[in-house]
Amino acid sequence: MRTFVCGHRNPDVDSVASAYALADLRRRTGMKDVEAICAGRLPEKAKWVFEHFGVKPVRPVRDVYVRVRDLVSRDVPMIGASLTLENALRRLEESGESSLPVRDTDGKFLGMLSPAKLLGLFIAKADLTMRTLDAPLHHCSLVLNESDRVHDIRSACIKNPHNHFPVIDEEGLLVGTVLKRAFAEEPPFRMILVDHNETDQGIPGLEEVPVVEVVDHHRIAFAATKEPIRYTADVVGSTCTLVARMFRAAGERPTRETAGVLIAGIVADTLLFQSPTTTDADRTMCAWLEKLCGERAQSIMAGMMGVDSPLASMTAADALKSDAKLYTEGGKRFMLAQIEETNLALFHRHIDELAAAMEEAISANALDFMALMATDPVRGNSELLFRGDKAVSRALPYRKGPDGVLLMPGVLSRKKQLLPEVLAAL
């Protein structure tokens, strides 16, 4: 039976990294079919981590609702419409079933072979050795789509007199049957939760699937379980610290790659040990992992932060140059630069350097003014740092904020939103 290891919704690096590493550990300690998944979109930083260490990223999954395709049985034979009635009848008898699904030569589902209809043919003395199943010999049946949620179709199936139901895919091709008794069985997979334990924070559908293990560093608000489960929790800065500790306790050494992924989770959650949630355990485990990985936590942090923060990975001057456009309009020569930062804290920290780099760019390019738009795409806001011709900045419709920047709530586009205002000001 398959076991999914999964972190919380809106996953962060710790959530994704700990799922990856715990799946690795469980595989090594004998769990057969285990897969790390990600509740929704893989964050860009995590994508960078997997690429950097050259490993396959965890698979993004929208939900873990049990679907008809998870219950499909191949035990019930499917018969082709080109069979003669005589042979079809023989198959039906051999199968011991009360009906069998029929498909055409392209695999399309036609209907269920119905003994009642066959009986009618007997009575009419039709030649059963000649006739094939193309004729409408099928009784009406409940037909399931493989993507149907079991939750939605369960009661209709249980009330239905038949023992099994044909399953088709999006194209109408017959993929198999679901036996009625499958609805009484446990879901065909299990969950291991990392970096969360509250069902509401978990992947949609979690409430339908038994949880067999939790590894977490949050408050506990876990639902009661039917059976004993493995639960590992501690007050540490990152779930990856706990997973690293579990590797050690099991006498297992993470590979270079897994060690690197674990480091990424630790530094992402502890902000490179700056966060007040950091503990000695985080530092100790990280030091052990650094030896196995051969790469320093600091450089992994810098690489990861550089993904969506130019200011974390470049000098102020380079960040400014990375996306600066030169304009000559209304008799003025100016540059509008833009950087994207997931929050503007780093921008505020670097304002003096950025302003100095802008002054330099103004004299080097003989500009009248220069503006740098720092955009936070997550919150959907920008702030503008302006140097040069003061009359222009005064004419812009933006309110002054802290550090002398102009606040641009809801503004994201240089071309469509900033430039027209600058032109109007000119």
Which of 371, 385, 377 lies closest to 423, judged by CA? Answer: 371
320 within 8 A of 372, measured Cβ to Cβ: yes
CB of 203 to Mn ion, least distance (A): 16
Q: Under 8 Å CB-to-CB from 153, ≥6 apart: which residues?
A: 68, 142, 144
Euclidean distance between the first and final Cα of the chain, in Å? 68
Q: Binding Mn ion by CB under 5 A: which of 257, 269, 341, 383?
A: 269
CB of 265 to Mn ion, least distance (A): 7
Which of 235, 218, 312, 262 lies closest to 36, judged by CA? Answer: 262
Q: Does 216 bind Mn ion (CB under 5 A)?
A: no
Rounded to the nearest 5°, which phi and psi values hold at 70? Answer: -75, -15
Which of 322, 392, 265 lies closest to 7, judged by CA? Answer: 265
CB of 46 to Mn ion, least distance (A): 12
Q: How far apart are CA 245 and CA 374, in angstroms?
A: 40
Q: Binding Mn ion by CB under 5 A: which of 11, 14, 65, 242?
A: 14
Nearest to Mn ion of 150, 240 (CB atom) = 240
Specify the amino acid at residue 99.
Answer: S
Instruction: Please choose, out of 35-43, 189-197, 271-279, 321-329, the segment that lies near Mn ion by the rule CB under 5 A.
Output: 189-197
Q: Binding Mn ion by CB under 5 A: which of 24, 97, 146, 195?
A: 195
CB of 218 to Mn ion, least distance (A): 7
Q: How far apart are CA 218 and CA 212, in angstroms?
A: 18
CB of 7 to Mn ion, least distance (A): 8
Number of residues that bind Mn ion (CB under 5 A): 4
Instruction: Please choose, out of 73-81, 162-170, 250-258, 262-270, the segment that lies near Mn ion by the rule CB under 5 A.
Output: 262-270
Which of 308, 327, 311, 331 lies closest to 319, judged by CA? Answer: 311
Tokens of 75: 């035990």
Which of 5, 69, 68 lies closest to 39, judged by CA? Answer: 5
With residue 201 as reference, give the H or E element that holds it. Answer: none
CB of 195 to Mn ion, least distance (A): 4
Nearest to Mn ion of 14, 282 (CB atom) = 14
Nearest to Mn ion of 146, 216 (CB atom) = 216
Nearest to Mn ion of 157, 243 (CB atom) = 243
Instruction: Please choose, out of 154-162, 201-209, 235-243, 290-298, the segment that lies near Mn ion by the rule CB under 5 A.
Output: 235-243
Nearest to Mn ion of 242, 307 (CB atom) = 242
CB of 241 to Mn ion, least distance (A): 9
Binding positions for Mn ion, rule: CB under 5 A: 14, 195, 239, 269
